[in-house]
Amino acid sequence: MKVGIGSYSYPWAVGRPGYPRPGDPLSPFDLVDEAAAYDLHLVQIADNLPLVEMEEDGLRRLAQKGRENEISFELGAGDVRPKTLRSYLEVARLLEARLLRAIVGDPGGVKKQLEEVLPDFERADVVLALENHEALSAAELARLLEDMDHPQLGICLDTVNSLGREEPLREVLTQLAPYAVNVHYKDYEIERYPSKLGFRVVGRPAGEGRIPGELLREKVEGNDREVSVILEQWPPFRGTIEWTVRAESRWVKKSVGFLRDLFSEG
């Protein structure tokens, strides 16, 4: 499996709504430089860096920078509306991307929406990867994939998102690993508040939290799809954006090393 970084490897450097903006926000071109510095050959640029807003000339320059660094692209969209997905398919064409991750926000009518656009994905030879999130349970997503049974449709298996539906990763793996084409690997810990009255879920560098990495690898390698692994992170805000961005970068270094050891690249 090929390991890469993405725009959610550096959420604070890109910028988070409601928080101070970094002085020099991370751009898609910077993300390619980061991947090249780690000798990685895959970058996923998601909806926090919306490439549909970039001019065609910029996209062509980004594609050229990727080729110069032997880096492939994947994309991420924030919803499954046909208009959104078709816009990203045009970006995928310019970047020669072969995977688009999308999030099902409203489960109503999702099957009809997908049926409308999947012929376009088939013609473009792009895989649409639905990410597990709060809107649908893992079992509901699995039934959707089974019912549609389309070669261009798969799962982006996020290691933490399903906690929002009180679903542990082992349950998510049972349901979704057979359909996985992409993994969002982020780690976490569950801590008690200092008052001991309740718990909080907090991010951790990959390998330093609760994710059973070897089990994940075993389950995902057991399907017959080509699967990529993208580092995502939930670093805490540390008082200033400058300090937070520096800490986030240190997490990336630790996490990339862990993922290299866990997954064989190729």
Q: Residue 266: its pLDDT value, please?
A: 44
The number of distinct structural domains making up the chain is 1
200: containing domain = 2-262
**CATH number where 256 lies:** 3.20.20.150
Tell me the helices (H) and strands (E) count for the chain, helix number first: 9, 10
CB-based contacts of 209: which residues, under 8 Å, 6+ apart? 187, 188, 189, 203
Round to whole Å and give the CA distance between 199 and 173: 24
pTM: 0.97
Nearest partner of 45 among 226, 260, 232, judged by Cα: 232
* DSSP sequence for 83-151: HHHHHHHHHHHHHT--EEEEE-S--TTHHHHHHHHHHHHHHHT-EEEEEP-SSS-HHHHHHHHHHH--T
33: pLDDT strictly greater than 90: yes
| 264 pLDDT tier (thresholds 50, 70, 90) | confident
Instruction: Give pLDDT, residue 39.
Output: 97
**Section 70-90 average pLDDT:** 97
What does the pLDDT read at residue 129? 98
Per-residue pLDDT tens digits for 129-138: 999 999 999 9
Task: Compute the distance between CA of residue 28 and CA of residue 198 in angstroms, rounded to an integer.
Answer: 39
DSSP string, 34-45: HHHHTT--EEEE
